[in-house]
Each structure stands twice: as C-alpha cells, then as structure tokens.
Amino acid sequence: MRRVIALLAALTLSAAPLHAQIASPSLAGNYLPSVLATSPAHRDSLMEMIKGKPGLPFWVRALVRQPRYVALASEEVAVKDRRMQLFRACEPRTCETSWIRVLYSEDGKRALLYVSDAKLGIKIFGDPTPEELTFLTR
C-alpha cells in the first residue's frame, strides 16, 4: 500500500510541472513575416482572403513571397473575450500613405484585413464583426 501511495505521489509531483508548462502562446510580440513563414494557418487564411481581389497595393499582394515591408510587433487583443492577434505593416518609405492591419483568430485560421492606400483607397476583407472592425480601424 505504501508503494502505491508513493507511486501516486511521485506521479502527481511529476505531472505538476508538465501541466504548468502548458500555457497559451503569446499573441503579442510576433512579426508578420516570421508568422507567415512558419504558420500555414496564418499564411493560408490571408492568401485565400486576398487571392484574386482587385485594387490591392503590390506590396500587400507580395506579403508572403516578398516580405519587403515594415512590420511592427503584434499585439494581443480581446474581442468579445476571444484572444486575437493584431498586426500592423506598411510599405517602406510610404508608411503614412500605404498601410495595413491584419487581425487573426488565435489559431490563425481566420484572418481579417484592413488596407489603407492613398492611391487605391480603403479596402476591408474577411467580413469583420463590428467589434473586430473597431480593432482594425483604430
């Protein structure tokens, strides 16, 4: 009986650190080029959303294959108690006139895009809810 209790105690103690290590990854402090390069979910949801859409700046169409843009670190936001990841990026040398915001679901399978370009206007992709739109437009 002592052996069973000792074994159960050992298993409980060894399982505690394992449980403590299982934490949600941070959605803040990431950069869009590296996320698109390493996460098929993020890459696919974004590319599917903009595929074949007219009126996008070239640098936005090339987000994945030619990551030549200025990207800020992502921010974790809570939209109706759901964790989401907000990215900001812009075209080099024209950041004030050509920029985007991308909002992803926690798993990266849902992407929303807000494009602002002085020549091409404002475009919104992904059918955001009013709450999501608040984060895309701020």
Q: How far apart are the C-alpha atoms of 136 and 21, rounded to whole Å?
A: 32
53-66 residue pLDDT tens: 988 999 999 988 88
Spatial distance between the Cα atoms of 79 and 101, rounded to a whole number of angstroms: 15
The DSSP-derived string for 43-72 is HHHHHHHHTT-SS--HHHHTTTT---SEEP
The domain defined by 25-137 folds into Inhibitor of vertebrate lysozyme, Ivy (3.40.1420)
Residue 23 above 60 pLDDT? no
Distances (CA, A) of 33 to 15, 49, 111: 36, 17, 15
pLDDT above 60 for 19: no
Question: Which of the two residues, 64 and 136, has the higher pLDDT score?
Answer: 136
- Average pLDDT in the 95-114 region? 96
- Domain extent listing, the chain: 25-137
Q: For the chain, what is the mean pLDDT?
A: 86
Angle at 135 between CA 35 and CA 58, to 5 degrees: 55
CA 126 vs. chain centroid, Å, equals: 14
Say what the pLDDT of residue 24 is: 60
Higher pLDDT, 112 or 64: 112
* Strand residue runs (E) in 20-138: 70-71, 75-79, 82-90, 98-105, 111-117, 121-125
Nearest Cα residue to 63 out of 125, 134, 128, 20: 125
Q: How confident is the model at residue 7 (pLDDT cuts 50, 70, 90)?
A: very low
